[in-house]
Amino acid sequence: MLNRLYVLLVLLMGISTYAQECPNMLFPADGVTNIPLDATIDWETVDDVPSYNITLGTTPGGDDILTSQFASSSSYTPALGLPANTTIYVTITLFFFDKPNITCPSTSFTTEPLTAIPDCTQLTNPSDMAVDVNPNTNISWNYVYGAEGYRLSLGTTPGGAELLNNFDVQNTLTYNPTFELPAESTIYATVVPYNSLGAAMGCTYQEFTTRAPSALPDCTTIIYPQNGETNVPLSPFLEWSAVSDATGYIVTIGTTPAGSDILEEGTFYTNSTPVVNFEPNKTFFITIVPFNDAGRAEGCTQTSFTTLLGCGPYLDFDTGEYVTINPEIDFPDTISTCENEGPLTIVSTDEAEGFRWYRIDQFGNETLISSNREVTITENGQYRYEAYNTVNQSGNTIECPSSKIFEVVSSEIPTIDGIRPESFNGNLSLVVNVSGNGDYEYAIDHIDGPYTDNNTFENIAPGNHTIYVRDKNGCGIAEKEFTQNLTVEGFPKFFTPNGDNINDYWQFIQPKSSEPVLFRSIRIFDRYGTFLKQISQYSQGWDGTVQGNRLPSGDYWFVAVNDSNQQFKGHFTLKR
């Protein structure tokens, strides 16, 4: 928090804790001569500097060759080239959003002299053989090395000049005719570069065909920020209404109605653009002018907006990251409480200067219930948690909050209503049915899990099992035992101990179709569960008597235990 406040205060007050260094010139180096006329000017990147402005002149700090131009990187190539055999002074200005700019001492270099007349050039707009060109179009062409100016001729015949005769446009790369070109006609354009040694020779015409004239585009309407809007974030996303017949938009932003110190006639081909780091607590003036090949929209009005007394985000140029004063909060969407355990107490663990808790009713109205880190909640429903930091700006204390809406719900220990065995292709599954007000998870045989949200356990071995159902909100664990007996072929369904030597004994008979089964014991019970007899798998079997007494006809039960300690249960009938 202290680091964030420190960054904010530095940004707001324009305080620098170190002396800002100016960049060294990489090319051309200070004092060098014979520099090409199409040279790119490069300088070192300076830490913590978001952008640069560059001017070129024939005197230290002068701008008679190039007025101040914005350079987003540490290099700049003059669009019109450089004048020949001239000592040129380069002045770099370090541009800052949050403190005064720094203008660095000028360096100089001398360009090479002219040695030849320039070559011919080519049109860039309209391109050669273009069709369907608006009669109000501008004429543009490419820069030519060593050119000090250009002469333009326009005609309706090849090489003709009846519309514009060898007009000297001087050292520019575009010309906006003061007259409208003939509609639906073929226009022939010839551009001849020149310098002090002479004019280019053999330059041929290029042609294009116009269409019926079209109207200028309409002005647009700002969407965000709206005119007069306040508390606009420092890094907003500017957006305006799209104009159907506009090719693009010219955007100018300044800190005064006539200013362009933030952005001077930037060209955009979409109806929106992000902006990084406006200064806080300032009013900005913005003008957006749609254009097409007929020209710019006319009479577009200026709008203004004011940036907020800000909580951020602010760009920290040391780290390249944004800093906000609002606290970071970590809070769940839902908090559960166990029924019948009394009021719920919540204590925030977030780092912040202050806290607030609100109860939200069914109509969306909020009631403050606590202004501390801790809150006590006595009923289920919807709540809003808010944590905030403060910062002093321009003599005012500003709150920077972060908040989260959450639900409070009740849970209870589950009730296991039943366990239903299911068999498919010989595989046993157990389906657990529960009831209760809670969010439950399931485990088998181990109270510590693993737990799953699925209430079905598959491929379960027959035998004794314990099912555990746990409330996810910590309100308790329910458990229930379940036994699934094994069955096996070989135990007769009945026997007839009548002394005819046919089926007189009841005994397990190993089926030929299965693997041998070894039983450690076979015990027999009556229908009331009274133990009657234990026999060995290898004995003759049971003859239907107990201590020499013949038992009556009826149903009897058995429990057999194999060598893996698994139980097999079933029943059979004694017939006399």
Three-class SS string for 496-518?
Answer: CCCCCCCCCCECCCCCCCCCCCC
Give the architecture-level CATH label for domain 123-210. Answer: Sandwich (2.60)
pLDDT of residue 447: 93
Label residue 242 left, alpha or beta by phi (over 0 means left) and psi (-120 to 50 means alpha).
beta
- Given this model, what pLDDT does residue 542 score? 95
The token pair at 404 is 């989260």
Q: What are phi and psi of 154, to 5 degrees?
A: -130, 135
Which long-range contacts (C-beta less than 8 Å, at least 24 apart) are formed by 535-540? 535/507, 537/508, 539/507, 540/505, 540/507
Q: At the topology level of CATH, where does 494-574 sit?
A: Immunoglobulin-like (2.60.40)
Residue 391 DSSP code? E
What is the torsional sign of CA 423, 424, 429, 433?
A: negative
Amino acid at 407: E
Exposed/middle/buried for residue 190 (C-beta within 10 Å: 0-12, 13-18, 19+): buried
* Residue (of 448, 491, 494) closest to 470 by Cα position: 448
Whether the upstream peptide bond of residue 450 has omega within 30° of 0, thus cis, is yes
Kindly provide the residue ranges of all beta strands, DSSP E only, lying in 25-96, ordered along the sequence.
Answer: 25-27, 41-43, 51-57, 66-71, 75-76, 87-95
pLDDT value for 218: 84
| CATH fold group of domain 334-411 | Immunoglobulin-like (2.60.40)
Encode the chain (576 residues) as per-residue pLDDT tens digits. 333 333 333 333 333 333 568 999 999 999 999 999 999 999 998 887 777 889 999 999 999 999 887 775 788 999 899 999 999 999 999 877 556 788 999 999 999 999 999 999 999 989 999 998 888 788 999 999 999 999 999 999 999 999 999 999 999 999 988 888 999 999 999 999 999 999 999 999 999 999 887 778 889 999 999 887 877 877 788 999 998 889 999 999 988 888 888 898 999 999 998 886 787 767 789 999 999 877 888 788 899 887 765 676 665 545 656 678 889 999 999 988 888 777 889 999 999 999 999 999 999 999 999 999 999 999 999 999 999 999 876 566 788 899 999 999 888 899 999 988 876 655 678 899 999 988 899 999 999 989 999 999 988 877 788 999 999 888 899 999 887 665 567 889 999 998 888 899 999 988 776 678 888 999 999 988 899 999 999 999 999 999 989 999 999 999 988 887 777 888 899 998
State which fold the 18-110 domain adopts.
Answer: Immunoglobulin-like (2.60.40)
Q: Per-residue b/e over 58-76, b at no fewer than 16 CB within 10 Å?
A: eeeeebebbeeeebeebeb
Fold topology of 415-484:
Immunoglobulin-like (2.60.40)
Separation of alpha carbons 226 and 547, rounded Å: 105
222-316 to CATH, choices 3.30.200.20, 3.40.50.720, 3.90.260.10, 2.60.40.10: 2.60.40.10
What is the per-residue pLDDT for 33? 96
- pTM, rounded to two decimals: 0.43
d(CA 394, CA 336): 44
DSSP run (H or E) holding 2 = helix 2-13
Residue range(s) in the chain whose domain bears CATH number 2.60.40.10: 18-110, 123-210, 222-316
Let me know: does 472 contact 440? Beta carbons within 8 Å: yes
- Sign, CA dihedral 513-519-524-530, equals negative
Provide the pLDDT for residue 4: 33
In this structure, are residues 39 and 83 in contact, taking their beta carbons and an 8 Å threshold? no
What are residue 322's DSSP bridge partners? 315
Q: What pLDDT was estimated at residue 355?
A: 97
Which residues have a Cβ under 8 Å from the Cβ of 272 and sit 6 or more positions away? 237, 238, 239, 240
